[in-house]
Amino acid sequence: MAKIIGLGNALVDIIVFLESDALLVDLGLPKGSMQLVDIEKSGLIRKACEHLPSSFAGGGSAANTIHGIARLGVEASFIGKIGQDDYGKIFRDDLIKSNIRPILLNSLTHSGRAVALISPDSERTFATHLGAAIEMTIEELLPEHFEGHSIFHIEGYIVQNNALLETAVRLAKSHGMLVSIDLASYNVVEENLDFLKRIVKEYVDIVFANEEEARSFTGMPPLEALDELARLAGIAVVKIGREGSLVKSGEERYNIPAIRATVIDTNGAGDIYAAGFLYGLSQGWTLDRCGRAGALLAGKIIEQSGARLKDETWEEVIPLLRSI
C-alpha cells in the first residue's frame, strides 16, 4: 500500500471575516495581496481583528495537499518546523486529528501563521509571518523520515532554501520514492529558475504548475510549457483555471476539463488538485483519471471559503471520486 509524505512550511491559518475593507486600509494591506510580515506586525493585525469572527486551521501548501490525501484514506506523513507555542500545538493537533503522522521539528521561534482577512466580497488578503517554518536545516532531515513511503511531495516555497530542497529530494530518491513538486508561485520560480530547472531534471517525477508558473519556468504558453515540463520530469501537470488542466507523460497527453462550479474562493484549489492527482497515482489509476480526480476536488473547494474541504463535502466527494 502506497504511503505519501510531504514537506513544507508549517503554518496556521487564522481566518478573519471583515465587516468592510476599511481595516485593510488602516493596516496598510493591499486587498487581495499576500504580504510577509514580522511578528510585531502580525500581532498588531491580530489585535486589530480581535473583535471580529475568526477561526484557526492548519495550513501551508504541502500540508494542505497531504491533508487531502489523508482524507482519501492514504497513509500520510508531514515534515515541518514549529515553535513551542499555541500555534505550534494547533498545527500538530490538526495533523493528528487528520490521521497524518507528524514529523515536526521544534524551534524557540514563533510558529508560522497566516492571517487571512476575508472581505465581504470573499476576496482574501494574507499577512503571513513564516517564523519557525523556514528555519529547518539540512541536518534536521534524517533518512528515517522517508522510510516506508513511496511518494514525496514538496511545495515550491521551500526552494528559497536551496540546500534543504536538494537534500530532501536526494533523500527521497535514495529511498526509491517518486518525487512530486508544486511550483507554488511564479515569482518564486523566476527568482530560482536555474536551480529549479536542474532539480526538476535530476530528481522530480511529477511537476504541478499553474499557467503563470509554467510560463515563468519555460517562457512558453501552456501547451508548449507542458511539453517542456514533461521532457524534464516524468509527469507534467499544467493547470489553466476555468479551462481545466493539461497532463502529459511521454507520448500521453490529456486535456482535463474543469467541473462546473460556482466560484467563491480559489484558495487551496491547486493544493487539493495535487491531492486528488497523487491519490489516483497511488492507486495505480491512469493519468487522465488522476487528472479528473484533481479537477473534481479543485472544483469542490472553490465553491466554499477556506483551503480545505469541509467534512460534509468529503462525504459527498469520496463516492464521486471512486466512480470517475
- Reported as a single tens digit per residue, the pLDDT across 197-246 is 999 999 999 999 999 999 999 999 999 999 999 999 999 999 998 899 99
Q: What is the mean pLDDT of residues 147-168?
A: 94
pLDDT at 63 over 70: yes
pLDDT higher than threshold 70 for residue 282: yes
pLDDT for residue 121: 82
CA angle 102, 108, 109 (to 5 degrees): 90
pLDDT in the model for residue 135 = 95
Distances (CA, A) of 289 to 150, 255, 273, 306: 20, 11, 12, 26
Phi and psi torsions of 320, nearest 5° = -65, -40
Residue pair 211/240 in contact (Cβ under 8 Å)? The answer is: yes
Angle value at C-alpha 273, between 138 and 86, nearest 5 degrees: 50
**Residue-averaged pLDDT of the chain:** 93
pLDDT at res. 118: 86
In the prediction, which pLDDT does 88 show? 96
pLDDT at 295: 97
Cβ contacts of 198 within 8 Å, gap of 6 or more: none
Question: What's the CATH superfamily of 3-10+59-109+131-322?
Answer: Ribokinase (3.40.1190.20)
The Cα 56–Cα 113 span in angstroms is 10
Q: What is the pLDDT of residue 35?
A: 84
**Burial category of 266 from C-beta neighbours within 10 Å (exposed 0-12, middle 13-18, buried 19 and up):** middle
Q: pLDDT value at position 322?
A: 84
Helix (H, G, I), strand (E, B) or coil at 81: strand
